[in-house]
């Protein structure tokens, strides 16, 4: 023993002093700004701006993983279920009927009622009706015999590629846009709201307003819709969801997001 400092001891003292100085500086900054940010541990490569979080690899900034687009055939499991409406909707028990084929896909008379094949020239699609009653239209069992019992109706299919699904969804949305302007007294669609969960997982929806609220030829500002229509795209899957239950903005947004995530 020679009484000198152990090997490496000087470096440890320097590191300790530096750490104490950094903590003191951080505390002083916290007193001045109201935010306390500890310095990154030695060797940390990620640097965050105060007030911002650094997302983990493979996750979004909110901490939830970004969805990836769907591929492969659409199945009934990809369609919206009754649970999406929840007990707080006041709708009650919802019955589901499914079929596969062609037919009208919720495009209104103001745009010219067409079948999905007439609009896109594609193969058949999955049709789902959600209704409070059990009596269905003989010509299409996804439609309630009494229109007042219809809660929603979804039509979904798959395209050969994600780009083609995008093209189809854009065309289906354009089919609905003319209904955003109607003569006063006629029901009308409101402005388009876009939801984007990922680059190829998107939805555009419009609320519907009764003719009693259409006094100018367009949807009134500041009024709640009563249901609406959405065009969905999730990877190679695309579809149209019409909600005839009288849902407001928040409920419509929730249902559309559920349908988009499930598609």
As given in the structure block, the two tokens for residue 237 are: 């899957």
Q: What is the pLDDT of residue 66?
A: 53
Helices (H), 34-133: 116-120
Q: Among 230, 205, 261, which Cα is nearest to 69's? A: 261
DSSP, collapsed to helix, strand or coil, labels residue 100 as: strand
| Three-class DSSP category at 160 | coil
Tens of each residue's pLDDT in the chain, 263 residues: 434 433 344 443 334 344 434 433 433 334 333 333 333 333 333 333 333 323 333 333 333 445 778 888 999 999 999 999 988 778 989 999 999 999 888 766 676 778 888 888 777 899 999 999 999 999 999 999 999 999 999 999 999 999 999 999 999 999 899 999 999 999 999 999 999 999 999 999 999 999 999 999 999 999 999 999 999 999 999 999 999 999 999 999 999 999 999 99
Instruction: Please tell me the predicted confidence (pLDDT) of residue 24.
Output: 36
Per-residue confidence (pLDDT) for residue 113, from 0 to 100: 75
Closest Cα to residue 240, out of 145, 146, 127, 140? 127
CA distances in angstroms from 9 to 2, 43, 244, listed in the order given = 15, 20, 75
């Amino acid at each position: 023993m020679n009484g000198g400092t152990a090997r490496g001891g000087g470096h440890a003292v320097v590191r300790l002093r530096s750490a104490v100085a950094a903590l003191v500086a951080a505390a002083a900054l916290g007193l001045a700004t109201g935010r306390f940010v500890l310095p990154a541990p030695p060797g940390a490569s990620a640097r965050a701006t105060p007030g911002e979080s650094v997302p983990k690899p493979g996750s979004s900034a909110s901490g939830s993983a970004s969805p990836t687009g769907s591929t492969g055939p659409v199945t009934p499991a990809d369609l919206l279920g009754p649970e999406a409406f929840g007990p707080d909707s006041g709708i009650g028990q919802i019955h589901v009927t499914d079929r596969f084929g062609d037919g009208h896909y919720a495009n209104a008379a103001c745009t010219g009622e067409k079948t999905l094949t007439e609009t896109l020239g594609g193969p058949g699609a999955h049709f789902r009706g959600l209704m409070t009653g059990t009596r269905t239209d003989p010509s299409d069992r996804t439609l309630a015999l009494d229109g007042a019992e219809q809660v929603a109706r979804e039509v979904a299919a798959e395209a050969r590629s994600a780009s083609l699904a995008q093209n189809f969804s854009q065309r289906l949305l354009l089919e609905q846009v003319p209904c955003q302007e109607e003569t006063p007294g006629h029901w009308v669609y409101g402005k388009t709201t876009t939801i984007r969960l990922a680059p190829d997982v998107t939805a555009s929806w419009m609320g519907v307003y009764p003719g009693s609220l259409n006094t100018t030829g367009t949807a009134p500002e500041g009024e709640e819709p009563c249901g609406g229509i959405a065009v969905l795209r999730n990877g190679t899957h695309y579809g149209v969801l019409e909600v005839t239950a009288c849902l407001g903005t928040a409920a419509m947004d929730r249902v559309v997001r559920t349908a988009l995530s499930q598609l």
